[in-house]
Amino acid sequence: MSAISFRKFTWSDVPAITTIYGHYVKETVITFETEAPSEAAMAERFGRMLDLGHPVLIAEDEGKVVGYAYASFYRPRAAYRFTCEDSIYLAPDAVGRGIGGVLLVRLLEECKLAGFRQMLAVITAERANSIRLHERHGFRMIGKYEALGFKFDRWLDIVHMQRAV
Ligand SMILES: CC(C)(COP(=O)(O)OP(=O)(O)OC[C@H]1O[C@@H](n2cnc3c(N)ncnc32)[C@H](O)[C@@H]1OP(=O)(O)O)[C@@H](O)C(=O)NCCC(=O)NCCS
């Protein structure tokens, strides 16, 4: 982990994060999107988060983007404005090295500064490593929802986990 550095998102990160996210869209049930977004679409999404002042962080290994994390509104309606949902995506070859945990800790710090009070993690129920990661960082299991997603010809459950920021 010594070579990994962490910093805020910049526009030049868009191609790398589009590639990382596209992998999980096309190959996994981690995200319920089924069409990988273009770089332009990703730039628009991240631009919206920057406009809102929401944290977007990058993990780099010797200059190469190996992961990203962000938190944004859990839901758009105004009364939810103190509640965020996190997302963390590492390049496949960066998984299992503890980078996700560092991104999550830093994201929580940034979320506090941004004024969020609660963070939700919405996780595909079969993803044990993501559930474990959030447990390790103080998230409680709130509930399981059955068959909310359908991808790759099967129904998918999700769990919600929560902690105060
Ligand atoms: C989920 C993710 C962010 C976790 O980050 P990471 O740096 O790879 O985290 P690690 O795998 O090193 O650690 C997570 C924990 O899960 C544990 N773990 C790993 N595989 C596991 C498994 N199959 N079952 C149970 N626990 C597992 C690890 O031992 C570790 O627990 P520990 O800290 O108690 O040792 C990262 O793997 C990732 O980006 N995955 C793909 C995208 C994704 O799933 N994003 C989350 C969307 S909410």
Mean pLDDT by 10 residues, the chain (165 residues): 87 98 98 98 96 96 96 96 98 96 98 97 96 98 98 98 98
Q: Which domain holds residue 151?
A: 4-164
Query: Cα(131) to centroid of ligand 1, in Å?
Result: 8
18 lines ligand 1 (CB under 6 A): no
Q: What CATH number does residue 42 fall under?
A: 3.40.630.30
Q: What per-residue confidence (pLDDT) applies to 39?
A: 98
Task: Report the DSSP beta bridge partners of residue 151.
Answer: 154
161 lines ligand 1 (CB under 6 A): no
Q: What is the DSSP letter of 16?
A: H
How far apart CA 135 and CA 29 sit, in angstroms, is: 20
Q: What share of the chain is helix, strand, coil (3-state, %, to 5)?
A: 40, 35, 25
> Side by side, which strands form the sheet with 118-124?
4-8, 56-61, 64-73, 83-90, 118-124, 154-164, 140-151
Q: What per-residue confidence (pLDDT) applies to 2?
A: 57
Q: What per-residue confidence (pLDDT) applies to 1?
A: 54
How many structural domains is the chain composed of? 1
Q: Which residues contact 77 (CB under 8 A, 6 or more apart)?
A: none
Query: Cα(67) to centroid of ligand 1, in Å?
Result: 13
88 lines ligand 1 (CB under 6 A): yes
Q: What per-residue confidence (pLDDT) applies to 3?
A: 86
Q: Which residues contact 158 (CB under 8 A, 6 or more apart)?
A: 122, 123, 124, 125, 144, 145, 148, 149
129 lines ligand 1 (CB under 6 A): yes
pTM: 0.96
How far apart CA 1 and CA 12 sit, in angstroms, is: 23
What is the amino acid identity at position 75?
R
51-60 in b/e form (b: 16+ CB < 10 A) is eeebbbbbbb
Pairing of strands 118-124, 83-90: parallel
Other residues' Cβ atoms within 10 Å of the Cβ of residue 65: 20
